[in-house]
Amino acid sequence: MTNQIRIRSALISVYHKEGLDDIILTLKALGATIYSTGGTANYISQLGAQVHEVADLTGYPSILGGRVKTLHPMVHGGILARREVVSDQEELAQYKIPEIDLVIVDLYPFEETVASGADEAAIIEKIDIGGIALIRAAAKNFGDVAVVPSQAYYGQVAAWLKAQDGALSLDQRKALAGAAFGVSSHYDTHIHQYLAPASDSLKVSYDSPTVLRYGENPHQEAFYYGDLSTQFDQLNGKPLSYNNLVDIEGALQLVDEFEEPFFAVIKHTNPCGCAIGTDLLDAWKKALAGDPVSAFGGILACNGTVDEALAKEMHSLFFEVLVANDFTPEALAILTKKKKRILLKRISKDSHTQVVKSLLNGYLVQDKDTKALQADELVHKTSRTATQAELADIYFGEKVTKHLKSNAIGIVKNNQLIGSGVGQTSRIDALRQAIEKAKDKGFDLQGSTLISDAFFPFSDSVEMAHAAGIEVVVEPGGSVRDDETINFCENHGMCLIFTGTRHFKH
């Protein structure tokens, strides 16, 4: 492999022409022979550079509506021929195939066409065949050929050519080849995902990661792969951190459970306060009352518009992030007084239906827990039945508790989370924590409802709940000792309901 190659010829076939001028004019100044097709050839001519049509090289016009232009030995032979292999050079001479030193391609915008909502016929036409073949051929032969695989590399290659008198080094060509296969892989991944959405293979591809300040801790490097701008407009504040993003995800999963005015306060992905209100201001006051201490420095999210009255109520609290459907100008004038406070206007909802986690040199994939409790799933196990008000709390509490880390207990009253036990190694400890938190905040547990994310292995939990004044208990059921729990609740006038659904969250 030759370290330096001077570019004497180039094949150019691109979709996006913005930014191409510099590299074209550089090639013109070098006296390089330029081959091209269609619209790209016209563009090059308009810049005053001489261009040779690929159709003249191959002896065939562009056919099938442009589907076949560069797929020909006269093109690929000049790209794939090895300069130091005698037999390759003899064949080039025999068939009068010119060597091509540089290939510049920018593929049809398949991903963008899918995102635009175009019909299938239009999407299929944006599957690039000739371009991807040119990219792969040039990248394979990086020992002798350089490839520019997308618009993102126009400027860099032009700068190298200018600085190096029209030459590119082996290291540069190899780096471009690696980038080319990255472009090819990304492109094919999105085609695969479109054509085979139910495939049992795991393929994920995102370009241009956002570099985060750090990971969960300052000594951990972190990146975000994706496009947050499709979900949020950031109206104020510092860049989002790794922990911010994790908490925002948890907050919005909870918010999306509700259609009524709802506010959530999140700390380390756990809801520490949340409530339905008559309006967002009422919901905010109730959510904050659930745990005003933990709300300090938390992530806040709601499902409506933040107005001036709500902003005034919230402004004095230190919080990291507030996510809302919108903000009135008056609210923004108040909330943006704190320059580091992150305000996110929500544009769209997360469309992912699965959760992916890396571990043990592999990946776990599972469906998101989107199951909602249905009326016909409520099985009363005692003669004491739930009132209408208690049923409302049951539905509310079930939605909230499934977003608490296991072992988890939620205590709710009047559509407000008043106590929670999260991440405990035993269910009784989770219940003890939830009761203590509720009492510490001054809530009366009489008339409250207890929700457990999994079954009670023993009757000790309902005994503790009864002693605290809780009369309604909701759990999946399924313990070998369920009868002990049922008997205690029946004998003490408690309402016990089994749902048949566990909601572990780790």
DSSP classification of residue 211:
E
**Residue 270 pairs with which residues in a beta bridge?**
267
CA 264 – CA 273 distance, rounded (Å): 6
| Location of structure tokens 């009366």 | 444
CA 288 – CA 167 distance, rounded (Å): 65
Pull the structure tokens for residue 466.
Answer: 């009864």
Give the E-state strand segments of 173-256 in sequence order: 210-211, 223-224, 232-236
**Residue 271 pairs with which residues in a beta bridge?**
266
Cis status of the peptide bond prior to 407, with omega within 30 of 0: yes
CB neighbour list of residue 15: distance below 8 Å, 6 or more residues apart: 106, 107, 108, 109, 131
Indicate the helix (H) or strand (E) that contains 434.
Answer: helix 427-440
495-498: strand order across its sheet:
379-380, 495-498, 472-475, 449-452, 409-412, 417-421
Pull the structure tokens for residue 256.
Answer: 């999306």
Catalytic residues: 140, 268
Q: What are the two backbone dihedrals, phi and then psi, of residue 281, each rounded to the nearest 5 degrees?
A: -65, -45
Give the E-state strand segments of 335-444 in sequence order: 342-346, 354-359, 362-367, 379-380, 409-412, 417-421
Give the E-state strand segments of 209-367 in sequence order: 210-211, 223-224, 232-236, 262-267, 270-276, 299-302, 305-306, 321-324, 326-327, 342-346, 354-359, 362-367
Rg (C-alpha) for the chain, rounded Å, is 31
